[in-house]
Amino acid sequence: MRIASIIDISLVDVPGIPVTVIFTGGCNFDCPYCQNASLIPTTSGVETPIPEIVARATGHLSDGFCITGGEPTVQSDLPDLLRALKATSGGHINLNTQGSVPSTLRESLPYLDSVWFDMKAAPSRYQEVVRTRSDPWGRVRESIEMVLASDVEFWPRTTYVSGLITPEDISEVVQLLDRLGFSGRYLVQNYIASAGVRTEEAATLSTPTKEEMEALRTLGSGSVRVDIQWNEVVLSA
């Protein structure tokens, strides 16, 4: 498995649970606003044996793990890592995913407690926003339905970029989640131009205003509540 870095402890990646964060390398999407763009290439990170990853990720003052990237499910041995982490610590295991590799996600579910599911746009705009050669929406929807049918907590979220993502996108995602039987919180976070965004991409992207973000709360419908996360920290290069 290709590993980019490991953060000993984080208090913000899983609500209410201190976790060790494992960043995998490689992603099959090319979102222009990606905050970890250096991890998109399949050559990013370092090929690392699972026992070494487990040794580096355990023994900290955390109560679990968050696996993020990149896109962790492009790593075919992700289920093996999750199995080893669960056997070693038994703590909470969270996965960050965009859901485009349902086969790996299916094998991973038995070892997961929660999934942050990054919903990029309205279904009709997926390929445009994530910039893939073929439309990934069918696989993404399969993954959403799979997690919803499991005992794993499903936490949907979208990054809102002015001019790229629209209120109509958020409304369509809300309606989709409602139809699929999801009940609960749908998190929409504002895009910020951090150091992790490619310079040439950041020049074309706009950070939404607080007023724009607050207006999105009204788009909740049925059993789906839109919650807003306002990010203010801009990392320096």
| Percent of the chain surpassing pLDDT 70 | 98
Mean pLDDT of 54-70: 96
Under the banding of pLDDT at 50, 70 and 90, the label for residue 183 is very high
Distance from C-alpha of 38 to C-alpha of 26, rounded to nearest angstrom: 9
Q: Is the dihedral of CA 42, 47, 51, 54 positive or negative?
A: negative
Domain region containing 97: 2-229
Within a domain: 237? no
Average predicted confidence (pLDDT) for the chain: 96
Distance from C-alpha of 74 to C-alpha of 86, rounded to nearest angstrom: 20
Number of domains in the chain: 1
Mean pLDDT of 92-110: 98
Under the banding of pLDDT at 50, 70 and 90, the label for residue 89 is confident
Contact 49, 58 (CB under 8 A): no
Under the banding of pLDDT at 50, 70 and 90, the label for residue 16 is very high
What CATH number is attached to the domain comprising 36? Answer: 3.20.20.70
Contact 117, 99 (CB under 8 A): yes
Burial class (CB in 10 A: 0-12, 13-18, 19+), 235: exposed
Which two structure tokens, joined as six digits, stand for 162? Answer: 């002015």
Within a domain: 235? no
Under the banding of pLDDT at 50, 70 and 90, the label for residue 178 is very high
State residue 90's pLDDT score: 83
Helix, strand, or coil here: 156?
Answer: strand
Any bridge partners for residue 28, and if so which?
none
Distance from C-alpha of 64 to C-alpha of 45, rounded to nearest angstrom: 22
State residue 233's pLDDT score: 57
Mean pLDDT of 60-85: 97
Please say if the pLDDT value at position 207 is more than 80: yes
Distance from C-alpha of 86 to C-alpha of 120, rounded to nearest angstrom: 29
Summarize pLDDT for 118-174 with one digit per residue, the tens.
999 999 999 999 999 999 999 999 999 999 999 999 999 999 999 999 999 999 999
Within a domain: 81? yes
E strands within 27-163? 46-47, 64-68, 92-97, 114-118, 153-160
State residue 232's pLDDT score: 81
